[in-house]
Structure 1
Amino acid sequence: MTDEKWFPPMPVIAVLALDGVPGHHLTVPGLVFGTACREHPDVTYEVRMCAPEGRVKTAAPAPLGVAPPYGLDGLSSAEVILIPTHGVHRAEPPPAVRAALHAAADRGSRIAAVGTGTFTLAATGLLDGRCATTSWRYREELAARHPRVTVDPLGTVVEDGPFLTAAGVFGGMDVCLHVLARDHGRQVAGETSRELITPLHPYADDVRDTIARELAESAGLEPILAWMRSRLHTALTLTDVATHARTSPSSLTRRFRAHTGLAPLQYLLRIRLLEAQRLLEETDVPVEQVATNTGFTSPAVLRRHFRDLTGTTPRDYRRNHRARSG
């Protein structure tokens, strides 16, 4: 007899790092699952960093040589394998990577890919006949390179069987929170998201930067995007926007989805919310007036959409922001 307690092994999240991975994509899984474990004692995970050849080079502008503690053997007991975005997505995955991912799928592991990581997963054939997504600027290329994959033009996180794919700057966090919600429920995932986003809140600034890049890169859409931003306080319909753009609603929607990954009114909602965040951070305008200035029909409507974005209310967001700013 022994008095030692037996503890079941922790679920393993294995991050498959490939050359050209942005550094923050390597740290997000540990941040999300580590936060969940810290805040919820019944949540346990082990996050492993794995590289096929023992070393990986991160993306510019400050590339680093990283030597993860695990090779492909680290994938062998993983319940979830995460393939972050990376810079060698147009190359065929090495045979050992292909074999490891097939073995994981055969034993029932979940496999998630973020951004250009979807190309690597698709190249294994595991996504054939399934739906997937990637960052908006690569969706047409993904569809052309892998015609057996149905590319979702709007998905942030697409789940098809044991496979998860995600788009956008925050795709890694989205996928990790999705896994967390599947394993431990939406409440745990929501509380973890608020713990990550509300106190630190790099989210708004990063999304604003993304919007600015989209404005610069969305060929032919700059005038209509600028027009929409100048009229956030007014009620705009899809027909209004299409009329100003001198095109049909269906043609406008196709162009928006191709260049921004969003439908016109989805894009409008996003920039309304970002402007509301700016007003809450930089002005003393009452919340009721913030709602009016950004085109929401009532403070309650603003509050609902704002909570979906940030996990908190406009008033709490302003109070927390000012407390952090000192």
Structure 2
Amino acid sequence: MTDRASGGAHHVVVVALENVLALDLGIPWQIFGSWPDGPYTLSVCTDRPGPVQVHGGPALSVEYGLDRLASADTVIVPGYLDPAAPGAEVTAALAAAAARGARIASICTGAFALAAAGLLDGRRATTHWLYARALARQYPKVTVVPEDLYIDEGQVLTSGGVSSGLDLCLHLIRRDHGPHLANRQARMLVAAPHRTGGQAQFIDLPVRPEPSASPALYDWALRNLHQPLTVDQLARRAGMSRRTLIRRFHADTGLPPMRWLLDARLARARELLESGDFTVEAVARRCGLGTPANFRTQFKTHVGVPPSVYRATFLG
């Protein structure tokens, strides 16, 4: 890989860790590496120069090591398979780049590398929704927001899975040079010109936990979401005291019973909306979410978009 850095252009350095995700790597490469005489130049580096395995693609030959970060204005860490803390050399290089003022961003599971370097401590951050709980568990000083497409905390930015990395990179251009240049690049990529970071990732909501000491209870609740279920009703069904039931739900799901029920109802609502066979009124009734007005409010609050927009997203 050849050096694209030159002159006074803003130098973007992408850190390719082992088993880097092909599309996550390709997004900043395409967006920042395709300016022949523009405001950005691009380099790719790794902790061990040479072949880097790409998940979903052929091995990549990377010439530069982590010392490349010394000239970076922006550092981007794409996602990588089975995220864990990278080696000490990587975290130290990321921390040093941040300390001298470089902007640091991640795509998808690249947030784990930023967290391991301490760059997300005391900050809000996001990652692919599938890994959000693991990120929060491993790094309790980080406020993980799994719903957001991307989060801009000033010097440090994180994004969710795959396509939200595209949103983040366009946001960086918009931040640096305004909407005109960002929109022009979006048109070249045939991409949406602007999705705000607060727009929701469409995450999978939990249903019956596996494994569970009380599978019959969860199955019964899922079959009866249209009913006005209460904690006392669930406790009687399970043959438990109210207090024991609440402890059981926390142990199985990490949630209070009524929050688990809300998530289950929203998950069912999403399935029905995606099918396109039911009116909003019918969806609200089948999911136990009350009146259509209450359903719309709850859905937009927790999913991030109104039911009509959600349906249109999946049905076109």
TM range (shorter): 0.5 to 0.7
SS in 1 for 2:194: helix
Residue 256 in structure 1 maps to residue 250 in structure 2: no
Cα gap change, 1:224/1:80 in structure 2, threshold over 3 Å: closer, same or farther? farther
Structure 2: 5+ residue stretches without partners = 1-7, 33-38, 184-191
Cα gap change, 1:235/1:58 in structure 2, threshold over 3 Å: closer, same or farther? farther
Structure 1: 5+ residue stretches without partners = 1-7, 35-43, 144-148
Cα deviation for residue 49 of structure 1 reads 5.0
Q: Which amino acid aligns with 2:141?
A: T
Residue 18 in structure 1 maps to residue 14 in structure 2: no
Separation in structure 1 between the aligned mates of residue 289 and residue 312 of structure 2, nearest angstrom:
21
TM-score (norm 1): 0.59
1:276 corresponds in structure 2 to: 269
Q: Which has the higher helix share?
A: 1
Q: Contact (CA 8 Å) 1:29, 1:173: kept in 2 or not?
A: no
SS in 2 for 1:81: strand
Separation in structure 1 between the aligned mates of residue 261 and residue 21 of structure 2, nearest angstrom:
29
Q: 1:1-326 residue pairs with structure 2 within 5 A?
A: 9=9, 14-27=13-26, 50-52=45-47, 53-59=49-55, 62=56, 64-67=58-61, 72=66, 73=68, 76-87=71-82, 89-90=84-85, 93=87, 95=89, 97-113=90-106, 117-126=110-119, 135-136=131-132, 138=134, 142=138, 150=141, 152=143, 162-163=155-156, 170-171=160-161, 180=171, 183=175, 192-193=194-195, 207-208=203-204, 211=206, 215=208, 217-220=210-213, 222-237=215-230, 241=234, 246=240, 247-249=244-246, 252-253=249-250, 255-257=252-254, 264-307=257-300, 313-318=306-311, 321-322=314-315, 324=316
TM-score (norm 2): 0.60
Q: Which amino acid aligns with 1:81?
A: I
Separation in structure 2 between the aligned mates of residue 223 and residue 103 of structure 1, nearest angstrom:
53
- Percent same amino acid at aligned positions? 30
Q: Which has the larger radius of gyration?
A: 2
C-alpha RMSD of matched pairs (Å): 5.0
Cα gap change, 1:271/1:105 in structure 2, threshold over 3 Å: closer, same or farther? same
Please list the CA deviations of residues 238-277 of structure 1 after superposition, one character each: whole Å capped at 9, or x if unmatched. 56556655424356335423xxxx6654544443333223
| Structure 1 residue ranges (4+ consecutive) displaced by more than 6 angstroms after TM superposition | 44-48, 128-134, 157-161
Q: Which has the higher contact order (CA 8 A, sep 6+)?
A: 1
Equivalent residue pairs, number? 277
Cα deviation for residue 291 of structure 1 reads 1.4
2:189 corresponds in structure 1 to: none
Cα gap change, 1:240/1:315 in structure 2, threshold over 3 Å: closer, same or farther? same
